[in-house]
Structure 1
């Protein structure tokens, strides 16, 4: 199993789903590089392909088995090639994966990603598939080696698992009950990242603001935000995804009073109907949700707020849907992750009566998309004329090469395309620009840059570029890809973790 001039085995990790999966894939890459693998290049067949799967949406199964089918010919012509499947779908389907795709070598779950190298070795020696699914977490993933995909922005998991019982969501059954990291461990990881050049972190959890539930401190999350804000060199702090039930005034105060905590919030709505929220087992109602939005805007008038919405939940009537439209009009979200309800076997909602016909769901979805598109554009137009400091990103602007522009994120996480400055600018550097145009999903700064600030993060990115190709990396760095799946018209720059709590 040799690939390339290095003589080392090459690997490719394919990630489906949420930010937690993206972060887990960084751990998987770190484990593999620690075991002697190198990241595969764009050409040829890698020696190992790892699928880190999602089980939230209905097409997750089709996507996985379609990809596995496409790999079968590659494996037949590439002697020694291995295929591994992990993540939530592996936790759910287990041996079924090997039955449907017998050319898979390893199936591992959400609780034992640290076992992957050993499972691969065992599969090669025994020449048969290895299926290992643990029911509870053995080691918190933060203790594993990591190959980070960004020199300037990093995920930091503060908890794993979820204690909620939403009737549409299978994730708690696959990820387990919530387990919190000790605040000292979280802060130590952030400090280490900052020492390596990172200037932005996103605190990550299935229900991030429930942090502290097994530490015995209801204000642990707000205290963590304030403590992280004291770390010298850390310029931007974000978090995802909170739950309206646990979102308390002390968190709003910490956001407003800690300069490095960005005024950006992803607050999953799911439905505006109290009746549907009850059926979903969401422990808040419309009034509570809108009250949170009002409090956030009172404390931070410039806050950009995004959301998750499910259209067509079983039993949703036209009146229920109109309640959702009402909340969207009132809340004026910057953007939204908007999903058509997807029946997932193993969830209570899948067994409910009054499943809404597909054509009705589609019609409502289209109306919601049109409304949110209008609001997103109106809210972005308010940014025209503002001066913003943009964190230059890598790979955010698909047209940058053709348009002589660069792209990055404003403090509130809006995507900004701007004219390339005359002086050299690197991903991770900061550029101050004036916004001249707004579209529903991005801002444009057509004039010359007002200022360029070279940063330690830009230095770290530059150092990475100078590293020899194929060299195993410890901590590598790119902006974490935050957003809705590509096919959604309302792709947002920040969204819910896994089930969109």
Structure 2
């Protein structure tokens, strides 16, 4: 009898991606095999987000599409987990009675048992725990990337932002012990990983649960002492907790990248107060100024919400002012989405959709111009790029590869000559040195020859996993949306790494 197959579909944030890697690991530990075609899997798992309304629509749309497939395949099972499952509970089974298992953010470790129980009893299993039983990081893992990894340092959030439902779904912040985190990092490096991203809903609040206000900066410095670890990133910090010791640790620890993703949400002090964001415009811009004084080459990105209830044109102009002053390398912009269960959902002054759309377009145009101007400053610079696989340019895939510079900018570069005349074709996880020749708003281009290829243990790990000696022609290399953390997905209207 052949092993049952599975597919995990992830919606949302980096924390969801982290959890999906654990779900895959749990299923493989239980004897399942990853399906080569998702729709043909015996078990399809949806790991969901609940931050934006579109997340609901996507889930139920996909569940509806799978209903006739499931009816024609006896034994197929569908499971729904994550934040939306934690929020909707029995609603999912009522709206989609063909779903077999619903599980929450606190009990992902129970999935194999719930699937077996549903198969034996022939009825849906709904299990939503209110408190975390064990850190997901301790569960078996099937990582999507051989060379880059998420490392969760905490779960949950202690903030009460009025637009965000995440604290209600993931609970209060709980910190892992520093020794456990470093042990995971060291084990990853031993497997060939050369880049890690430290992950938390409010990552730089790390230490509040263990009583050490400088725990996060100490953790960054400790990662700097891990031999073989070349790049350290983190996401997403909260401006309230962004202290000088963190800036110093970033500047003084060679393998901590000069890249920062710090949500703004709004530039208006009045709106920030209504959002219950515990900083104001001056505080935010002051952090940016300190970061750039310590690291002039730092690339800073952010999240911004347009159309929060009560936002006036004057409030929006304050947001544009901060965008112009901060000169973000990139901004993830969102139109406010009313989420049931949040205070903002019942606030007066809901902004008409056409007004929100017009402001959103102005913000995007402003940021696009700034991103392009900032990227143009990179032309002529020589950078070392971590070659990656996944997303990237859809054209010229045969002749170009992609990867991330230390500041997290996406770089497309010419494929090295692999006939023996040049340095040879790099593998995902290897490093290449290139000179930037052209800039666009969202990527850089190195059209000249690759100056150097540095083979790494990460490239060796990728080769062992795939059995391929190098990146095959016709396969575009870039950064995966799932599993390689160098480029945070759109973080959504939360202070941490939540979105859809």
* TM-score normalized with structure 2 length: 0.94
Partner of 1:294: 289
Q: Residue deviations 1:181-208, cap 9 Å, x none?
A: 0000000000000000000000000000
Paired with 2:283 and 2:499, the residues of 1 have a C-alpha distance of 21
Partner of 1:253: 248
- Greater shift in the superposed pair: 372-381 or 60-69: 60-69
Partner of 2:484: 479
Q: Residue deviations 1:160-189, cap 9 Å, x none?
A: 000000000000000000000000000000
Cα deviation for residue 305 of structure 1 reads 0.1
Partner of 1:472: none
Secondary structure at the counterpart of residue 59 of structure 1: helix
> Any conservation in 1 of the 2:38–2:44 contact (CA below 8 Å)?
no
Paired with 2:441 and 2:390, the residues of 1 have a C-alpha distance of 20
Paired with 2:208 and 2:347, the residues of 1 have a C-alpha distance of 31
Change in 2 beyond 3 A, CA 1:220/1:337? same
Paired with 2:4 and 2:371, the residues of 1 have a C-alpha distance of 46
Paired with 2:499 and 2:45, the residues of 1 have a C-alpha distance of 22
Paired with 1:70 and 1:297, the residues of 2 have a C-alpha distance of 49
For residues 313-462 of structure 1, the aligned pairs below 5 Å read 313-399=308-394, 402-422=397-417, 423-462=424-463
Paired with 2:229 and 2:315, the residues of 1 have a C-alpha distance of 43
Cα deviation for residue 45 of structure 1 reads 1.2
Paired with 1:52 and 1:369, the residues of 2 have a C-alpha distance of 29
> Any conservation in 2 of the 1:396–1:408 contact (CA below 8 Å)?
no
> Any conservation in 2 of the 1:394–1:478 contact (CA below 8 Å)?
no
Change in 2 beyond 3 A, CA 1:38/1:401? farther
Out of 108, 111, 127, the residue aligned to residue 113 of structure 1 is 108
Out of 208, 211, 215, the residue aligned to residue 216 of structure 1 is 211
Q: Residue deviations 1:319-354, cap 9 Å, x none?
A: 000000000000000000100000000000001000
Partner of 1:474: none
> Any conservation in 2 of the 1:161–1:178 contact (CA below 8 Å)?
yes
Partner of 2:498: 498
> Any conservation in 2 of the 1:400–1:407 contact (CA below 8 Å)?
no
Secondary structure at the counterpart of residue 44 of structure 2: strand
Superposition RMSD in Å: 1.6
> Any conservation in 2 of the 1:158–1:205 contact (CA below 8 Å)?
yes
For residues 49-68 of structure 1, the aligned pairs below 5 Å read 49-68=44-63
Partner of 1:134: 129
> Any conservation in 1 of the 2:216–2:246 contact (CA below 8 Å)?
yes
> Any conservation in 2 of the 1:373–1:440 contact (CA below 8 Å)?
yes
Cα deviation for residue 58 of structure 1 reads 1.1
Cα deviation for residue 44 of structure 1 reads 5.5
Partner of 2:471: none
Cα deviation for residue 399 of structure 1 reads 2.8
Cα deviation for residue 451 of structure 1 reads 0.4
Cα deviation for residue 400 of structure 1 reads 6.1
Partner of 1:45: 40
Secondary structure at the counterpart of residue 147 of structure 1: coil
> Any conservation in 2 of the 1:94–1:131 contact (CA below 8 Å)?
yes
Cα deviation for residue 482 of structure 1 reads 3.6
Secondary structure at the counterpart of residue 167 of structure 1: coil
Partner of 1:151: 146
Mind listing any 5+ residue stretches in structure 1 that lack a counterpart?
468-476, 489-494
> Any conservation in 1 of the 2:52–2:499 contact (CA below 8 Å)?
no
Paired with 2:160 and 2:201, the residues of 1 have a C-alpha distance of 12
For residues 5-24 of structure 1, the aligned pairs below 5 Å read 7-24=2-19
Equivalences, count: 479
Secondary structure at the counterpart of residue 384 of structure 2: strand
Paired with 2:38 and 2:120, the residues of 1 have a C-alpha distance of 28
Partner of 1:160: 155
Secondary structure at the counterpart of residue 8 of structure 2: strand
Q: Residue deviations 1:241-267, cap 9 Å, x none?
A: 000000000000000000000000001
* TM-score normalized with structure 1 length: 0.94
Partner of 1:234: 229
